[in-house]
Structure 1
Amino acid sequence: MIEVEVKAKINSFEEMEEKLAEIGATKTKKEFQEDIYFNSPVVDFAKTDEALRIRTTKENDEENIFITYKGPKINKEAKTRKEIEMGIENAQECSDIFEAIGFKKVRAVRKNRQYYSYEDFEISLDDVEGLDPYMEIEIGLNDGEDYTEAQNSIFELFEKLGITDGFERTSYLELLETFNIN
């Protein structure tokens, strides 16, 4: 799958919730996410622009765990890249396997995320520990599909919501590392 994603800093969650309601977006869920990122023993993911993480999500009493690999970004305007994700049973055992074969833990990224659905878009309002409020808009494509139209439609939706600047191509991990936030 190809993930086309654009992230922007926002002023407040309340303001965005109102704007999302005005355009008819539907709130679908709210969850806590903890992402544990790893670096490869073979290549430096920070240099190759790849990511490997174990994500644990918690919504009410339900917990889900996934391994996600994200390939290098394909273009310069958005975070468009290949994504492979698989559900697993035990985050600690997976982490132990990664570390046993040479992968190194980089850091954890924790956030509360509210999801919205609007047309073909998945929208999230992200309250990341250590960062300002952000909103992400994403569309998933099949391998080989042209991402340009999807990317343009994401920027059009941001404009419809009154956001024309504050866009960020870097991941939350990179933002936390850049500002050296523990």
Structure 2
Amino acid sequence: MFEVEAKFAVPEPGDVKDRLERQGVRMAKRQQERDVYYNAPHRDFGETDEALRVRYDDSGSTVTYKGPKVRVGSAKAREEFNLGVASGEALEEILSRLGFKRAAVVSKVREFYEMGDVTVTLDDVEGLGTYIEIEILTDGANEDAAERIGTIAKELGVEGPPIYTSYLEMLLFKQR
């Protein structure tokens, strides 16, 4: 499965929420997420543009592997695999014992808005600010999904260039 998404900085999230409401789109859920990222002992995920994370949220714990980013029009796509785990803490202990090193923790409050097969999230990311992500899951990284995302961004009044770096990359850059 590929995740095709575009991310934009949102100085005034209230404006986006108003436009969503005018389109009849309501918030599906709001939750706190804490993402713990790991680096592998046998290769540097920063160099290979991969990610391995353990996410803690209201529904439990999930481990996610993300492949390297691919540019698709004005969006990015990544192969992504998710697996729910009974205990994120136990998984983190296993990763640690296997030599994986904790790279960073990204905490955010995320609001989800569903528009058919499109997910819009407003993210208040600790230490970084507020962003919107517009995402479509597809079988492949395709241009149609990127075009649809661009159209939705315009409809929501989102301006500025898309941000291709992940929250993890943004946070690590800020910490340097």
Cross-structure match for 1:168: 163
1:8, 1:167 within 8 Å by CA — same for their partners in 2? yes
- RMSD over aligned Cα, in angstroms? 1.4
Rounded to whole Å, the distance in 2 between the matches of 1:106 and 1:32 is: 20
Post-superposition CA distance 1:93-125 (Å, at most 9, x none): 100111111110011100000000113210000
2:39, 2:45 within 8 Å by CA — same for their partners in 1? yes
Q: 2:127 aligns with which of 110, 117, 130?
A: 130
Post-superposition CA distance 1:64-115 (Å, at most 9, x none): 1000000001226423010000000111110011111111001110000000
Rounded to whole Å, the distance in 2 between the matches of 1:116 and 1:110 is: 19
Rounded to whole Å, the distance in 1 between the matches of 2:88 and 2:144 is: 36
Rounded to whole Å, the distance in 1 between the matches of 2:131 and 2:24 is: 20
- Alignment of 1:97 onto 2:85: no
Give the structure-1-normalised TM-score: 0.91
Cross-structure match for 1:180: 175
Equivalenced residues, count: 175
Give 2:20's aligned amino acid.
L
Give the structure-2-normalised TM-score: 0.94
Rounded to whole Å, the distance in 2 between the matches of 1:102 and 1:13 is: 40
TM-superposed CA distance for 1:169, in Å, is 0.7
TM-superposed CA distance for 1:26, in Å, is 2.5
Identity of aligned residues (%): 36
Rounded to whole Å, the distance in 2 between the matches of 1:127 and 1:156 is: 23
Cross-structure match for 1:68: 64
Partner SS for 1:115: strand
TM-superposed CA distance for 1:24, in Å, is 2.1
Give 1:88's aligned amino acid.
V
Rounded to whole Å, the distance in 2 between the matches of 1:110 and 1:53 is: 12
- Alignment of 1:149 onto 2:144: yes
1:5, 1:136 within 8 Å by CA — same for their partners in 2? yes
Give 1:56's aligned amino acid.
Y
TM-superposed CA distance for 1:22, in Å, is 1.4
Structure 2, unmatched stretches of 5+, are none
Runs of 4+ in 1 over 4 A off after TM superposition: none
Give 2:51's aligned amino acid.
A
Rounded to whole Å, the distance in 1 between the matches of 2:13 and 2:40 is: 35
